[in-house]
């Protein structure tokens, strides 16, 4: 499943940069701001919930029904990844928060290749953290 996630979400994010409507951008930003609120208030559940919703909003903004359907399937993988990779300490200076802002900005500015690369970095970092936590460091990408 990790391989599918790695190949689907960056492509969907690039499509979002091309196809997002004003409402899609508002939804993505709303979830980013809720993540930020969660980080500011050290509210892990709020952060995690809106992290998932941020990713789902990006998939929806791709306006590609295949990617949206796969996103629904991959949501469970994302939840496991979020639980396994969230920094120990939530703060407004959270690296994941900045990475998500960078994705949002790339989509908002309609820069598909930058958006793809930003999301690819998020996904690869998440996979790397999961493998380290599982002591599978020899399989790191």
Per-residue pLDDT tens digits for 26-37: 999 999 999 999
pLDDT band at 58 (very low <50, low <70, confident <90, very high): very high
Q: Using CA atoms, how far apart are residues 115 and 102, in angstroms rounded to an integer? A: 8
pLDDT band at 13 (very low <50, low <70, confident <90, very high): very high
What domains are defined for the chain?
A: 2-139 (1.20.120.530)
């Amino acid at each position: 499943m990790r391989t599918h996630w790695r190949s689907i979400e960056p492509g969907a994010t690039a499509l979002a940069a091309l196809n997002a409507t004003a409402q899609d951008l508002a939804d993505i930003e709303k979830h980013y701001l809720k993540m930020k609120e969660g980080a500011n208030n050290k509210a892990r559940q709020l952060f995690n919930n809106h992290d998932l919703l941020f990713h789902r909003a990006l998939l929806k903004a791709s306006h590609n029904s295949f990617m949206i359907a796969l996103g629904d399937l991959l949501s469970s993988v994302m939840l496991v990844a979020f639980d396994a990779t969230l920094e120990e300490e939530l703060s407004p200076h959270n690296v994941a928060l900045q990475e998500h802002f960078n994705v949002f900005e790339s989509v908002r500015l309609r820069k598909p290749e930058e958006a793809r690369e930003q999301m690819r970095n998020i996904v690869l970092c998440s996979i790397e953290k999961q493998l380290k936590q599982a002591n599978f460091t020899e399989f790191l990408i």
